[in-house]
């Protein structure tokens, strides 16, 4: 029995990157042997075991054969005769098809080290085309490693396009698409994930609401980049640069979906795109089974982002009602996430990436002002429903005084 470290851990070891997850492949063993050694079985489709002490995953070396549709449509064969090379050839990219033994020796039958040196993301074999999930995985790796100069091999991108046109992507479950996408959104260059999917024609299959933004023009005085799709990816890039949380990144991704629905005769203006965007934001969130918290933030960013840009010009009562809709008294973190997403929208524009966005601090300061006003601040003779009414009036009055100190016009649109 021989044990090898495989996959991403080997790749990142050679790149000098930190890694936490370790996966092992076991050659020349049977399930009975691992069970006798105290390993715990966890695999449903093929034999995978947890180490009795480290709880790391150990999989028996296996061959695979396409037998159906989608990434579940495979038959696996494991026995003591399966060689390491046979197991590695089923993997997606050459840089993920290397193994390392306990002495640090690298086994690289498919040129992974050379592709690491050449900074190329290349498929291991033509069997790549049999698994539609690999389209998302390669796009995610492109997002992760683009900062290091990695590019997808042309022939690999061609295979990804072939998968996209085959209908196989339809076999991916919403949960799996969201799992890969949520991981990609947290990469430093999440925008590359979506650009890669567009380059191989997978974006229009999996994310038609986002794909529809490309080619839609905007007013150049507000959007020098003009194209709505490009603006969306530039805004997402800003969220990555700021290292914002997943809910903010998702909200930024879908904040302008309504612009794809603007009537042609109204272009390049996008009147009421905030309202038009609510349905596609809800549709994509429901289809992918996006967590409720993320969906809710995305909806309110879609609906209210222009008010954030105009915050310093809003009447005190209008600003209070915006803060109310953001649940300012119970969820200040939601207000913060909202302004972060809106700031990414404002800066995700060609040549305007570094412009100040004072609206963010303005709303955060307003939030603190209204949160400090409580029932005990009211006259003692105020009772019943009058308490709520007077609290609102106190908060609006406080915002009015606050506004007097800030009279600069908003620069975002």
Give the closest residue to 136 by CA, choosing from 94, 168, 89, 113.
168
Give the closest residue to 119 by CA, choosing from 200, 11, 194.
11
Q: Tell me 264's DSSP state.
A: G
C-alpha atoms less than 13 angstroms from C-alpha of 395 in its C-beta half-sphere: 27
Q: What angle do CA 325, 329, 314 make, to 5 degrees?
A: 50
Does the annotation list 140 as a binding residue? yes
The answer to whether the beta carbons of residues 336 and 364 sit under 8 Å apart is yes
DSSP string across 182-241? HHHHTSTTHHHHHHHHHHTT-HHHH-HHHHTTTT----TTT-TT--HHHHHHHHHHHHHH
* Token pair listed for 75: 């038959």
For 252, other C-beta atoms within 10 Å of its C-beta total: 31
Does the annotation list 23 as a binding residue? yes
Does the annotation list 137 as a binding residue? yes
CA distances from 12 to 58, 84, 92, 118 (A): 19, 20, 16, 15
Does the annotation list 343 as a binding residue? no
Does the annotation list 277 as a binding residue? no
Does the annotation list 28 as a binding residue? no
Does the annotation list 11 as a binding residue? yes
Pick out the residues of the known binding site: 8, 11, 21, 23, 91, 137, 140
Which residue positions form the known binding site for Mg(2+)?
21, 23
Positions at the binding site for CTP: 8, 11, 91, 137, 140
Binding-site residues for ATP, in ranges, read 8, 11, 91, 137, 140
């Amino acid at each position: 029995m021989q044990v090898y470290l495989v996959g991403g851990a080997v790749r990142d070891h050679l790149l000098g990157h930190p890694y936490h997850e370790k996966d092992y492949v076991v050659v020349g063993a049977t399930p009975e042997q691992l069970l006798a050694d105290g390993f715990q079985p966890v695999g449903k489709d093929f034999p995978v075991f947890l180490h009795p002490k480290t709880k790391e995953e150990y999989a028996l070396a296996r061959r695979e054969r396409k037998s159906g549709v989608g990434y579940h449509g495979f038959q696996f064969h494991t026995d003591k005769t399966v060689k390491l090379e046979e197991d590695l050839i089923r993997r997606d990219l050459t840089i993920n098809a290397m193994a390392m033994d306990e002495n640090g020796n690298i086994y690289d039958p498919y040129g992974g080290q050379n592709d690491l040196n050449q900074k190329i993301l290349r498929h291991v074999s033509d069997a790549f085309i049999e698994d539609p999930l690999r389209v998302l995985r390669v796009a995610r790796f492109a997002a992760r490693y683009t900062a290091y100069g990695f590019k997808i091999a042309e022939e690999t991108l061609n295979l990804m396009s072939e998968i996209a046109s085959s209908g196989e992507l339809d076999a991916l479950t919403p949960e799996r698409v969201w799992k890969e996408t949520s991981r990609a959104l947290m990469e430093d260059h999440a925008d590359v994930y979506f650009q890669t999917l567009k380059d191989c024609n997978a974006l229009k299959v999996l994310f038609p609401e986002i794909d529809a933004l490309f080619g839609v023009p905007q007013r150049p005085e507000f959007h020098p980049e003009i194209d709505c799709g490009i603006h969306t990816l530039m805004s997402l890039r800003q969220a990555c640069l700021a290292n914002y949380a997943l809910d903010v990144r998702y909200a930024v991704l879908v904040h302008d979906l309504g612009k794809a629905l603007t009537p042609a005769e109204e272009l390049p203006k996008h009147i009421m795109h905030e309202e038009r965007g609510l349905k596609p934001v809800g549709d994509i969130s429901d289809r992918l089974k996006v967590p409720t918290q993320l969906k809710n933030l995305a909806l309110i960013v879609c609906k209210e982002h222009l008010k954030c840009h105009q915050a310093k010009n809003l009447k005190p009562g209008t600003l209070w009602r915006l803060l109310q809709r953001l649940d300012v008294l119970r969820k200040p973190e939601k207000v913060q996430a909202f302004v972060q997403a809106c700031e990414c929208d404002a800066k995700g524009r060609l040549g305007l990436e570094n412009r100040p966005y004072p609206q963010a601090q303005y709303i955060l300061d307003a939030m603190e002002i209204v949160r400090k006003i409580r029932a005990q601040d009211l006259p003692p003779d105020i009772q019943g429903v009058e308490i709520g009414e007077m609290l609102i009036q106190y908060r609006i009055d406080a915002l009015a005084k606050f506004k007097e100190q800030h009279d600069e016009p908003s620069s975002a649109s």
